[in-house]
Structure 1
Amino acid sequence: MSTLQKVKKYYKWFWDVTLGGDYDAWGTSTYFMEIGGDLYARRQIEVYENGNVLFYDSSHFSDDHGMLCDKKIDDGNIEEFEISKTEFEQVWQSKTPINK
């Protein structure tokens, strides 16, 4: 495994816009992402205001609700949202997604 693949960072940010359409009632959301050293998302959690939770990773890349972010994340633009691995893992272990 290369050094880049070993380096992971974790981020959390609040998205204050609803999804609209059929999902508008879900409300706003909080995103959690695990980003690999290559700056691509490895795992993603979406926690919505109404309690719905979505998980995405390599074993569940996409579904009718959305998908794992497939764009390279410029960590210079989101460094203020960095959280600990412990905080990310606590959410990953404690939430039950509706899409898995």
Structure 2
Amino acid sequence: MNSRYFKKFWEETTGEELTDSWGDSTYFFETDKNLNVIKQIQLFRNGKILKYDEQYLEDEFGGLADQQLEIAEFIDNEITEVEFLEIWNKPH
């Protein structure tokens, strides 16, 4: 599999009751070659981390993206596997 990795800052809060007070966040994605999301991390300004993958699709806070990433929105935000795994392997 030819995985790709992306990082994107989201300057708005979630608007959701459980997570809105956590602040803005940065998303990290591992995708397949077709940009389907395989793993997803949401790292909030307050330090909280949400992680989703095919074994842990969703919880009360959110869930794994069910749409392909749009390459036009992410092409300038590609990162290395090492950078992704550094965040993925942090305890949450």
Shift of 1:26: 0.3
Residue 17 in 1 paired to residue 12 in 2? Answer: yes
Structure 1 unaligned spans of 5+:
1-5
Whichever of the two has the greater Rg, that structure is: 1
Question: 2:61 corresponds to which residue?
Answer: 65
Secondary structure of 1:73 counterpart:
coil
Give 1 or 2: higher strand fraction.
Answer: 2
Q: Structure 2 length as normaliser, TM-score?
A: 0.92
Residue 92 in 1 paired to residue 84 in 2? Answer: no
> 1-side partners of 2:9 and 2:73: how far apart?
15
Give 1 or 2: higher helix fraction.
Answer: 1
> 2-side partners of 1:70 and 1:86: how far apart?
24
Following TM superposition, where does structure 1 have runs of at least 4 consecutive aligned residues deviating by more than 3 angstroms?
none
The farther-off stretch of 64-73 and 75-84 is 75-84
> 1-side partners of 2:52 and 2:58: how far apart?
7
Code of the residue aligned with 1:46 in structure 2: it is Q
Identity of aligned residues (%): 35
> 2-side partners of 1:77 and 1:18: how far apart?
19
Shift of 1:20: 2.0
> 2-side partners of 1:30 and 1:39: how far apart?
18
Tell me the C-alpha RMSD between the 2 structures: 1.1
> 1-side partners of 2:16 and 2:10: how far apart?
16
Q: Structure 1 length as normaliser, TM-score?
A: 0.85
